[in-house]
Amino acid sequence: MIYDAASFSTYRHDFPMMAATNRGKPLVFLDSAASAQKPLAVINAMQQFYSQQYANIHRGIYEISESASHQFEQTRETVRQFIGAKKAEEIIFVSGTTAGINFIANTLSLGSDNRQAFKAGDEVILTEMEHHANIVPWYLLAKRIGIRLRVVPINDEGELDLAVYQSFFNDKTKLVAVSHVSNVLGTINPIKTMAEMAHHHNVPILVDGAQAAPHLPLNVTQLDVDFYTFSAHKLYGPTGIGVLYINERFLHDLPPYQGGGNMIRTVSFDEVTFAKPPHCFEAGTPSIASVIGLHAAINYLSTIGMDNVRAHELELLDYAETQLKSHPEITIYGRAKEKVGLLSFTLGAVHPHDIGTILDHAGIAVRAGHHCAMPLMERFKVPAMVRIAFGIYNNTADIDHFFQACESIKGMFQ
């Protein structure tokens, strides 16, 4: 499908929240990077499942249980196609990106028959732009085991210093953990290049794809990453479900992360044998309806086409950046050559929390704060930033409303 800007105005009607109000004013929603709104396709799919098709999965031999199990596993195949994985068993359902990162941190720390566990002095390479979800799990391992965290710096444009990244590899390097897209700067990191560098040193790479999956066409096979994780709720799907891709070269080496039902073959008090991947990694009853919702969200986006989603957001980003030229008081953080549709900024000496509050009373929803990226705030020497993030339901009128409100803020604080 060739990108047609006019068609995106029709997609806006697929989202009931776009007709909502905020503080009694028409809602202008510019916080999709935190969590995206849901189209009717997702809402209806989950409602239909709960009202007409609900049953637990992988257990019942009755029709609706078998149907639910089929839909659940069909979603796994749909995710495989969406991200370009080779096999459906490489797709693990987790509760979200944070759970996916913690999964890898904990299973790698346990080790396996074929891979030695983390030990004191081992190193994990992170970057200065990481979300707390990709910092805190490694910090906890550093405190518990004594691993060392190496942090790749960024330049003033918000791009990684790949020369420093390359210099960090040594015989103690155990893992690279990096965001595909910065949730603050919008920077798209060169994951394929970073994976090549890591694999040259026989080091696996984990990618936080929370901010990439909703915005970019993905192919984890072409990127040649070992682990890739993202959340459904940023992908126009429900909360409480996410995906962890584990490359098949690791799939049979990692130990089960949690124990319980559904992930076993046999259980006695003397010995437990486990199911094959992916089921050995999915203990207990999952969020079945959320998986159904994720399926609907991916189908919805696939109908639009991720190339078209990307084109639409870049059009909005270009429009917003053009508008910024008439607002020299606004400082933008993150001017990488490759970005997704979000902007983080400060406005003179006005505190971002004040900006967020005033915009809220104008009906405009933005994110103001440290964005779960406090080291990045420290890097730019600011306590907080305001972020606007575009979704497929946004249009240039939303951006116009935002900048009109910014004018009133400037007048208020002059």
DSSP labels, 149-174: EEEE-B-TTS-B-HHHHHHT--TTEE
**Which pLDDT band holds residue 49 (cuts at 50, 70, 90)?**
very high
Q: In whole angstroms, give the CA distance from residue 33 to residue 385.
A: 14
* pLDDT given at position 346: 96
Convert 104-123 to b/e letters by CB count within 10 Å (16 or more is b). Answer: bbbbbbeeeeeeeebeeebb
Q: In whole angstroms, give the CA distance from residue 178 to residue 149.
A: 12
**DSSP letter, residue 304:** H
**Which pLDDT band holds residue 117 (cuts at 50, 70, 90)?**
confident
pTM above 0.75, yes or no: yes
pLDDT of 115 > 80? The answer is no
> What is the DSSP code string of 194-263?
HHHHHHHTT--EEEE-TTTTTTS---HHHHT-SEEEEESGGGTS-SS-EEEEE-HHHHTTSPPSS-STTS
Nearest C-alpha neighbor of 107 from the set 202, 175, 180: 175
In CATH, the number for domain 43-302 is 3.40.640.10
Can you tell me the mean pLDDT for 107-113? 74
* Structure tokens belonging to residue 262: 């559904």
φ/ψ bin of 158: left (φ > 0), alpha (ψ from -120 to 50), beta (otherwise): left
Residue indicated by tokens 């050995």:
280
* Structure tokens belonging to residue 338: 């490759």
* pLDDT given at position 324: 85
* pLDDT given at position 413: 79
- Non-local (6+) Cβ contacts of 248 within 8 A are 86, 87, 89, 90
Task: Out of 207, 316, 359, 372, pick the active-site residue.
Answer: 372
To the nearest whole number, what is the mean pLDDT of the chain?
95
For 252-287, what is each residue's pLDDT tens digit?
989 898 999 989 999 999 999 999 999 999 999 999
pLDDT of 112 > 70? The answer is no
* All CATH 3.40.640.10 domain ranges in the chain, comma separated: 43-302
Phi and psi dihedrals of 19, rounded to 5? -100, 5
pLDDT of 414 > 90? The answer is no
For 338-375, what is each residue's pLDDT tens digit?
999 999 999 999 999 999 999 999 999 999 999 999 99
* pLDDT given at position 59: 87
Can you tell me the mean pLDDT for 155-168? 98
pLDDT of 111 > 70? The answer is no
pLDDT of 114 > 60? The answer is no
> What is the DSSP code string of 44-78?
HHHHHIIIII---SSS--SHHHHHHHHHHHHHHHH
Q: In whole angstroms, give the CA distance from residue 76 to residue 243.
A: 9
* pLDDT given at position 113: 54
Phi and psi dihedrals of 115, rounded to 5? -130, 130
Chain Cα centroid distance, residue 78: 18
* pLDDT given at position 109: 81
- Non-local (6+) Cβ contacts of 25 within 8 A are 362, 363
What's the topology of domain 5-30+305-408? Aspartate Aminotransferase, domain 1 (3.90.1150)
- Non-local (6+) Cβ contacts of 316 within 8 A are 341, 390, 394, 395, 396, 399
* pLDDT given at position 1: 62
Give the relative orientation of helices 63-83 and 288-304 as an angle to the nearest 10 degrees: 40
For 52-97, what is each residue's pLDDT tens digit?
999 999 988 999 999 999 999 999 999 999 999 999 999 999 999 9
Catalytic residue flag (residue 406): no
**Of all helices (H) and strands (E), which one includes residue 22?**
strand 21-22
For 212-255, what is each residue's pLDDT tens digit?
999 999 999 999 999 999 999 999 999 999 999 999 999 998 98
Omega before 137 within 30 of 0, i.e. cis: no
Contact between 402 and 388 under an 8 Å Cβ cutoff? The reply is yes
- Non-local (6+) Cβ contacts of 384 within 8 A are 351, 352, 353, 368, 369, 370, 377
* All CATH 3.90.1150.10 domain ranges in the chain, comma separated: 5-30+305-408
Can you tell me the mean pLDDT for 299-309? 97
